[in-house]
Amino acid sequence: MAAFSGILLASFTTPMHIDTNPVSMLWLLPLVASIAVVYKATKVYKIVAFPFLRESAVLFWSILVFVVVVALFLYGLGWVVTDLLPNVLSGSAF
């Protein structure tokens, strides 16, 4: 029991190893799920298992779609500013 407690405490004093790659973006998913569930818990009139889960799932996907759309927009904006505009300007009179 003491060894188990020691391991448990130690796991909260040493950070995990997470690479800086696109896969680390998946850490977004549990957070979005938390936000959706807690927000819905404060909004629904009465918590009944199935309707509550359905409403939380709808909010989860809504947030996810919005995040993806914003990410694509920002990626496009970045491409225009860093790739497209310099090429257009270098071919102009400037």
Partner 1 sequence: MAQSWKDHHNLFLVATGLLAWLVPGGGHFLLNERRRAAVIFVVVVLTFLVGLYVGSIGIIDPVGAKPWYAAQIMNSPMVYFLGRVSATGKYPVYGRPNEIGQIYTSTAGLLNLLCIVNAVYLAHLRKTEKTDD
Minimum CB distance to partner 1, residue 68 (Å):
18
Tokens for 93, please give them. 């009179």
Q: 52 and 44 in contact (C-beta within 8 Å)?
A: yes
Binding site for partner 1 (CB under 8 A): 11-20, 24, 27, 30-31, 34-35, 37-39, 41-42, 47, 52
> In 3D, which of 10, 55, 63 has the Cα closest to residue 32?
63
* Closer of 41 and 80 to partner 1 (Cβ): 41
Q: How many Cα atoms sit within 13 Å of 35 on the Cβ side?
A: 12
Tokens for 56, please give them. 């939380």
* Closer of 34 and 80 to partner 1 (Cβ): 34
Minimum CB distance to partner 1, residue 37 (Å):
5
* Closer of 30 and 91 to partner 1 (Cβ): 30
